Structure 1
Amino acid sequence: MTDTTVANEPRPTATDDTTLRVLSTSDLAGIDISLADVVATVEGAYRTLHAGGSDNPRKLTVKPADGHSVSYAMLGRDGSRDVVAIKTSYKHGLDKGREDQHYYTALTLYDDVTGLPLAMMDCGRIGALRTPAVSALLARACARPDARSALVIGTGTQGRLALPFLLTTLPDLDRLMLFGTHPDGIAAVRQELRSHFPERDVEIVTDLRAAACDADIVLATAGSHTPAAVEADWLTAGALSILVGHGLAPSTLHRADRVVATSEAQMKVTGTDMADDNGELRAVDAEFPPVLAGAVAGRRSADERIFAYNSGLVVTDIALGHRFAQLALDQGLGVQVPLWQ
């Protein structure tokens, strides 16, 4: 099954092979797109990848010995859209607080039908939407059928959109919990939730162990300096723990009944902080694309404790970036740069 959302999506067009449309953070910030549209676009990208229509090679990583920065490069091809793209990501100041860190990420799209460049864009908003959408799809596929409670750890970019996306795929969740250490972040999470679901509110928790024991879904999105570290024996039977950033102890991986990863290869690259005392990671039982497509079971029983690793795949960035490029070009946004003249 390929991405059926593409059939109704107009194709962006480039004007020539000497200029490149550059879309800035502010260009993309004002584009209106619903959470349901984002989820559908991301889901379609996964299904096309599973069907063999797209390519998503393993990411390249560069990190200095002292660990003060990390860089990634990701190349991919979206077979539904006939688009080739490369995403770059660079974060500096990992040894410092969040306010002293620098982070830059960009996505460049090329039309594989015409051979022309489509656009280069800041990838911040795309990643901020894509990642919680993937977590919400993981929750829909792997949470126990009667899941009603969710705990989000962290109040950064991913934490702020985690609950709205979870409610988009699992509208029957009736208890929403948040563990965070930054008052401004907590306020931002609450504001973001109410902007999408005005009738809903989040319960702020301070006893992390008690909250984890009560949660059917634990979604860890915190930064590397978080004091949170949920242990496996805190989790209730049938709990799903999803790791995006930090907030879960390695025991949640190594003592899980089942492990699902968006990509086992990428988990080996970016999940090294979850290694055991011997420096080993637990084997992955299933990758997410076949789970989402229904070819492999995500959950086999209601009492399984499942660990899910969300590292993101560049094909989802390409799909969502393509959607944003079309919306931006329709509105005349961006600057045409004579890059190859």
Structure 2
Amino acid sequence: MPKAMHVLTRSDLEDVELTPADVLDLVAEAYQAFAQGDSRCPVKLMMPIPKAERDAVSYSMLGYDGSLEQVGFKTSYRQGGDSAEKYYTTISLYDDVTGLPFAFMDCQRVGAARTPATTALTARYCARPGARSALMIGTGVQGRNTLPYLLTALPGLERLRLFGTHPDGIADSIATLHRWFPDRAVELVDDVPAAAAESDIVVVASGRAAHPEVRTDWLPPGGLLISVASKGVASGALRQADYAIATSTGQLGVTGTRLAGPGGEVRIDAELPEIIAGRAPGRRTDTDRVFAFSSGMIITDIPVAHALATRAVAAGRGQRVRLWS
């Protein structure tokens, strides 16, 4: 077989169907394979660009999915802390069975699916039993899918609330929810501390937030605060928690350093892959206020990217490029 790679653009992937339930299953399996030692996921590399006026940062991740036997390389570059227009991310996949390249693709759609899936799985395993309310803070690309993913993971949620400052983001968040749950209502809130105090689950995915930085001690007893690597969370949120979890302690040390204590130490009680695998509890008691730090792990990008690429290629999308000819 000629050495070639399927190149898939954002528009090639835009209408490829993956349901929230599909993505939840893919991401949960990826975490379980990692917990079992079948996958590999080194800590991501972050490099701030040394130009203060540009406020730019780049990331690189490498990983191996033992379930699919696929190796993935992901890169991203963002110029401006809250600019979606200057954020570019790609992923390339290689087949570890054949040794051949498979796909090189835009990764925005992947991140917009695996991130809310991780949030929803965190809620499934770490929210207090009988949780009934959720507050979503932020309406950016990675936040707009969160409410339907939460409802898929926790169908018992009764009250959904949303805080956002961008009209288009708010409208898109509501439309995305109604695509999957047409009969569910969303309350828009403007008082974040008051809404957090009445919510069993609070998800913060805001950038330079137009709201007070969210504190864990605002939550009611038993509340769960999930930070999607958010600048909208107070630096003391982790230290205020009765129980603290992270997708990866190593990645918290890269992207969540401001959450460390006065001595620069980070206390994490459990990691999400171990919780999903049943090797660690999601909380100690029903009244614990739990803080969860979510940072992207490429082991969850790989299966979502592979599923999208496989469907896109089967539909005749993209181009097959012989880079090595």
Q: By the TM > 0.5 criterion, same fold? A: yes
Deviation, structure 1 residue 281? 4.8
Amino acid in structure 2 at the alignment position of 1:299: R
Bigger shift: residues 221-230 or 199-208: 221-230
Question: Which among 74, 82, 93 is matched to residue 69 of structure 2?
Answer: 82
Look up the match of 1:253: 238
Deviations 1:248-281 (A, max 9, x none): 21222111011110000001100123344x3625
Q: C-alpha distance in 1, partners of 2:192/2:210?
A: 12
Whether 2:134 is the aligned partner of 1:150: answer yes
Question: Which among 305, 314, 321 is matched to residue 321 of structure 1?
Answer: 305
Look up the match of 1:102: 86
Look up the match of 1:130: 114
Amino acid in structure 1 at the alignment position of 2:254: V
- Pairs aligned (count): 322
Q: C-alpha distance in 2, partners of 1:228/1:186?
A: 19
Q: Are 1:178 and 1:202, in contact at CA under 8 Å, matched by a contact in 2?
A: yes
Q: C-alpha distance in 1, partners of 2:174/2:265?
A: 35
Equivalences for 1:212-251 in 2 at 5 Å?
Answer: 212-244=196-228, 245-251=230-236
Deviation, structure 1 residue 182? 1.5
SS of the residue aligned with 1:98? Answer: coil
Question: Which among 68, 78, 102 is matched to residue 118 of structure 1?
Answer: 102
TM superposition score normalised by structure 1: 0.91
Q: C-alpha distance in 1, partners of 2:176/2:318?
A: 27
Question: Which among 30, 42, 57 is matched to residue 70 of structure 1?
Answer: 57
Amino acid in structure 1 at the alignment position of 2:272: F
Q: Are 2:92 and 2:104, in contact at CA under 8 Å, matched by a contact in 1?
A: yes
Bigger shift: residues 294-303 or 231-240: 231-240
SS of the residue aligned with 2:6? Answer: strand
Whether 2:5 is the aligned partner of 1:16: answer no
Q: Are 1:254 and 1:281, in contact at CA under 8 Å, matched by a contact in 2?
A: no
Amino acid in structure 1 at the alignment position of 2:319: V
Q: Are 1:152 and 1:220, in contact at CA under 8 Å, matched by a contact in 2?
A: yes
Whether 2:126 is the aligned partner of 1:139: answer no
Q: Are 2:71 and 2:93, in contact at CA under 8 Å, matched by a contact in 1?
A: yes
Q: Are 2:193 and 2:218, in contact at CA under 8 Å, matched by a contact in 1?
A: yes
Q: C-alpha distance in 1, partners of 2:19/2:195?
A: 30
Question: Which among 151, 169, 177 is matched to residue 193 of structure 1?
Answer: 177
Mark the runs of 5 or more structure 2 residues left unpaired by the alignment: none
Look up the match of 2:27: 42
Deviations 1:35-60 (A, max 9, x none): 10010000000011111100001111
How high is the sequence identity, in percent, across the aligned residues?
49
Amino acid in structure 1 at the alignment position of 2:250: A
Amino acid in structure 1 at the alignment position of 2:120: A
Look up the match of 1:306: 290
Change (3 A) 1:199 1:179: same
Change (3 A) 1:228 1:158: farther
Amino acid in structure 2 at the alignment position of 1:108: S
Q: C-alpha distance in 1, partners of 2:138/2:212?
A: 9
Deviations 1:123-170 (A, max 9, x none): 000000000000000000000011000001011112211100000000
TM superposition score normalised by structure 2: 0.95
Mark the runs of 5 or more structure 1 residues left unpaired by the alignment: 1-14
Equivalences for 1:205-216 in 2 at 5 Å?
Answer: 205-216=189-200
Change (3 A) 1:224 1:22: same
Q: C-alpha distance in 1, partners of 2:255/2:21?
A: 28
Q: Are 1:131 and 1:312, in contact at CA under 8 Å, matched by a contact in 2?
A: yes
Q: C-alpha distance in 1, partners of 2:217/2:247?
A: 24
Q: Are 1:268 and 1:281, in contact at CA under 8 Å, matched by a contact in 2?
A: no
Q: C-alpha distance in 1, partners of 2:263/2:137?
A: 25
